[in-house]
A and B are shown apart, each in its own frame.
Chain A
Amino acid sequence: MSAQLAQYLLGGLTVGAIYALVALGFSIIYNASQVINFAQGEFVMIGGMATVSLANAGLPLLLAVPVAVLAAAGVGLALEKFAVEPARGASVVTLIIITIGASILLRGLATLVWDKNLHALKPFSGEQPIEFAGATILPQSLWVLGVTLAIVLLLGWFFGRTLTGKAMLATSHNPLAAQLCGVNTRFVLLLSFGLSAALGAIAGILIAPITLTSWDVGVMLGLKGFAAAILGGLGSGAGAVVGGLVLGIVESLGAGYVSSAYKDAIAFVIILAVLFFMPSGLFGRKSAERV
């Protein structure tokens, strides 16, 4: 019985780590601009698809990965420069709609640049499952967990110890005050899109061997990542990670012990409950709206 539980937890942890990476991307852009970037899932897709096509073209993985991440970051920067920045001053809702449009455009472009098929990436270090407490986990899942941890630590250092990171944090707290103190908020916005695109791409590459990748893989992952970000509290880094892991484990346990047919429903009901009783999520800042 406990082996069964261990298996559910390991499966949930793997999926949760993926949600966490996507949720982090949501939070970074939200902090810089109050915008929920619905093209976040598409960055995940671009990372995975670009790596697969580069690897198929004969590039070694060690080279294909950074190129794909840079390409996705480039797309993120372009999205900010050509779609979000021209609409500066528009309401947040308008900006969100722009990102939805961008996500549809990116999916369409992906079907043209690549194709409409599913693709698999070779696992980084073999496919031999590792036994753990009677349950099994794939080496690739360890990669996902490990890299997620490394990224969280790296982001912690970036936001806490570097000037650029602190400027981004300042902008998230109060854009006007940050600007008055000499922070280039336009640059911060640009950087946030590049950074979260790169994060999304890394997630997309890590999971491509487990989940396969295709032009529309970003839709559901984007949605789940968004749910994780809401659960943890939009804008909170720790919240994004905890939200992702909780969502993944709840889904897995729900599928195992309750009903796999209602797995998604269980996850979303929990999110609704959180929104009802703690509207700012598990770790979100308490905010009061002025009327």
Chain B
Amino acid sequence: MRTKLLAGLAAALFAAGVATAQEPIKIGAFLSVTGGAAFLGDPEQKTLELYVEKLNAAGGVLGRKLQLVSYDSAGDAEKARTFAKRLIEQDKVDVIVGGSTTGETMAVVPLVEAAGMPFISLAGAVVITEPVKKWVFKTPHTDRMACERIFLDMRDRKIQRIGLISGAGGFDKSMRGECLKVAPTYRIQIVADEAYGGGDTDMTAQLTKIKNAAGVQAVLNAGFGAGPAIVTKNFKQLGMNMPLYQSHGVASKEFIKLAGDAAEGVRLPAAAVLVAEALPAGDKQKPVAVAYKKAYEARYKQDISTFGGHAHDGLMLAVEAMKKAGSTDKAKVRDALEATKGYIGTGGVVNMTPADHMGLDLTHFRMLEVKKGNWVPVQ
């Protein structure tokens, strides 16, 4: 009896010892959960929490539990830098998934490069992965790809002369620049190039100017937040009889709610997750997209956005890389990330190479149109 008890005690102690030896894998994150970019950071944070929980419930990764260490950088590049430093030096995380905006991401790049920390950014601009940085990866499609996708669609509709209207934010400006750069390749002529400010409440003046530009056939709006919704409303108010294109920056149900009836017929390029259920049955992305949509909506009772999907893809890419590397050794995880092939995420099929740390192409960037208050894929 006594020996049995001792043996039991020893076993219990051993188990406890093993448990402490098995430190959790730390996933670091800095996201704009509050502030002007909260509509990005909020779903991203929720997605990370949800999926860390899910992975832990399924037994964790490499037999270890995951632990999310997350900070709110509030859209502030300076804060992002401070938090990234803390994640690297104090929290000693194994990988960082975060950076809701391009500004925050770029502020952190020198830190992760110096520390040798695998970093998966959730921000859009081309500059993040071009030129390639050794430790930096990203999940969303770039703004240049958004321009290219839109121009492809315009070419199909025989549109050649367009008006461009963009906001004052970093994303808006970056996308405007990229669109201006790639337009000649698609034989698109930008005949009007207007701008609006951050808190602007009326864009009829800019749109009137575009309307009166000679031979304009369509309007492209680069921006996110309130701006595009107001542009869409003003567009309808002015009775402008031409196609209106928005960017993937407003790829959520929210936009339709805000713009109301005026959103009918608006087109934008977006990740498949937004139309998860409307995807054809054979679509490779359908299972991932539907699973993410169901899990997120069941938990938070909110419509999904593509932004939360970026966080989903970022976390899953990190987890896959760790599994493939068989450890959390940073250099090995980085190499595994770079060797990612055929990962199917909410954003598309990811094929990374040493020259491409995003790994997405235009094939899975869908063109969507608003029909009867819903996003529908354009055939």
User: Which of A's residues lie within 8 Å of B, judged by CB?
Assistant: 4, 7-8, 10-12, 14-15, 18, 111, 116-120, 127, 129, 136-138, 207, 210-212, 214, 216-217, 219-221, 223-224, 251-253, 255-256, 260-261, 263-264
Contact = CB atoms under 8 A, between A and B. Distances in A.
Interface string B188-200: 0000001111111
Contacts of B212: 4
Contact of A252 (B36, B197, B202): B202
Contacts of B204: 7-8, 10-11, 252
A117 B230 contact: no
B69 interface: no
Nearest to A259: B195
A152 to B, nearest CB: 20
22 contacts: A8-B205, A11-B202, A12-B205, A116-B42, A118-B229, A129-B237, A136-B238, A137-B237, A210-B230, A210-B233, A211-B202, A216-B36, A220-B199, A220-B200, A221-B201, A223-B199, A256-B205, A256-B209, A260-B194, A261-B194, A263-B195, A263-B196
Contacts of A8: 204-205, 208
Nearest to B196: A260
Given A260-B195, A260-B196, A117 B39 contact: yes
Contacts of A129: 236-239
Given A15-B201, A252-B205, A260-B195, A116 B34 contact: yes
B181 interface: no
Nearest to B194: A260
Interface in B261-310: 261-262
B201 A210 contact: yes
A255 B206 contact: yes
A190 to B, nearest CB: 30
B258 interface: yes
B100 to A, nearest CB: 12
Given A4-B212, A129-B239, A260-B195, A118 B258 contact: yes
B254 interface: yes
Interface of B: 34, 36, 38-39, 42, 194-202, 204-206, 208-209, 212, 225-226, 229-230, 233, 236-239, 254, 257-262
B201 A18 contact: yes
A166 B197 CA distance: 40
B238 A7 contact: yes
A117 B34 contact: no
Nearest to B261: A127
A136 B205 CA distance: 12
A211 B233 CA distance: 9
Nearest to A220: B199
Nearest to A248: B202
A224 B258 CA distance: 23
Q: Considering the complex of A and B, which 5 residue pairs feature the smallest CB-CB distances, nearest first?
A: A220-B199, A211-B201, A116-B38, A11-B204, A255-B205
B229 A212 contact: yes
A120 B262 CA distance: 13
A8 B238 CA distance: 12
Contacts of B38: 111, 116
Contact of B230 (A10, A18, A212, A219): A212
Which interface residue of B204, B226, B239, B262 has the most chain A CB atoms within 10 A? B204
Contacts of B42: 116
B230 A211 contact: yes
A118 B226 contact: yes
Contacts of A216: 36
B227 to A, nearest CB: 10
Contacts of B206: 255-256, 260
B324 to A, nearest CB: 37
Contacts of B202: 11, 14-15, 210-211, 252
B197 to A, nearest CB: 5
Contacts of A224: 199
Given A116-B38, A127-B262, A260-B195, 14 more contacts: A4-B208, A7-B205, A12-B205, A15-B202, A116-B42, A117-B39, A118-B226, A118-B258, A129-B238, A210-B202, A211-B202, A216-B36, A220-B198, A251-B205
Contacts of B34: 111, 116
Nearest to B258: A120
